[in-house]
Structure 1
């Protein structure tokens, strides 16, 4: 019986050694597989990082170009305004004052059209004083106007996309 036990022990020991060898091989296979997967992931990460940097640089170039040429259309639309002013300034003979007034009025109309196109609007000065868009520079006594209403406009104000560019300078009735 002890011989049988010794044989069983030897068989178990041999089986354990075989299992250990198989486990070692599996670990080595798993380790090399994991290393190849890690190398692939690293390569993918390097490529993704390079792609990201290239996209970032391209977007920065495009942003710089967009900022550089943002006002190109606005400037192009102002050229006819300059032309109208030059016409008004170079009047020869005839009824110069009437011709100059026509040139100046044409210039004002072109400015207004250009401003409207780009979201620049004149601030209304009809009615009540609004401290958000009007700047009161003086008060006057008025029997004709209710207190707090705009009596006179010294300088027109403008908004750009609903943001005040310059408030209207007004005189308020007391």
Structure 2
């Protein structure tokens, strides 16, 4: 029995420890609770403000990146176009030189041919600089890079090989811009 009494006393003592310290004076307890509430409310307000600012920064960054993306798309070919300007200049000079009547027709034809060759070389350099290449036409027909417009008999080449090129093909990196139009051996 003594054990039961001791157990009840220890339970009542431990429950007395759970009671808040400020229970003696209700005004002090309410004041401390109000202070804690104010502190928590200010922390909530601060966190809300930080959240709103972070969200606004994110929205601004998203809009700015979208604008930069649209500008990049709009001006993606600017460098390529700038590299083709000398080619246009060369062609215009050839036209002006052709209008000059002081030169004999044979000599004029020779100069025009030379100018066109130089202009074509400028085109090739500009294309090469931007990853535009000729489609390889040596060897066998590849439907990924070639378009067969004719099939002919030939003793010189094997069946399926390219015999003649009607129009050169071009690719940019590994993507076809235009397939080569070819004739192949039957």
Question: TM class, shorter-chain normalised?
Answer: 0.7 to 0.9
Question: Can you list the C-alpha shifts for 1:63-121, whole angstroms capped at 9, x where unaligned?
Answer: 23322322222111111111221222232323121111111111110000000001101
Query: Which secondary structure does the structure 1 equivalent of 2:159 belong to?
Result: coil
* TM-score of the pair, normalised by structure 1: 0.82
Deviates more, 1:43-52 or 1:54-63: 54-63
Q: Alpha-carbon deviation of 1:145?
A: 0.4
Per-residue CA deviation, residues 124-170 of structure 1 (Å, 9 max, x unaligned), is: 10111111111111100001001100001111111112111111111
Q: Tell me the matched-pair count.
A: 161
| Change over 3 Å in CA distance of 1:18–1:106 after alignment to 2 | closer
Gaps of 5+ in 1: 1-11
Which one of 107, 111, 114 corresponds to residue 102 of structure 1?
A: 114
- Give the equivalent residue in structure 2 for 1:139: 151
Q: Distance in 2 between matches of 1:26 and 1:131?
A: 84
In structure 2, stretches of 5+ residues that fail to align are 1-15
Equivalent residue in structure 1 for 2:48, among 42, 45, 48: 42
Q: Please say if 1:169 is aligned against 2:181.
A: yes
Partner SS for 1:31: helix
TM-fit CA distance, 1:48: 0.7
The range that moved more, 126-135 or 93-102, is: 93-102
Q: C-alpha separation between the residues in 2 aligned to 1:16 and 1:63?
A: 61
Q: CA RMSD in A?
A: 2.2
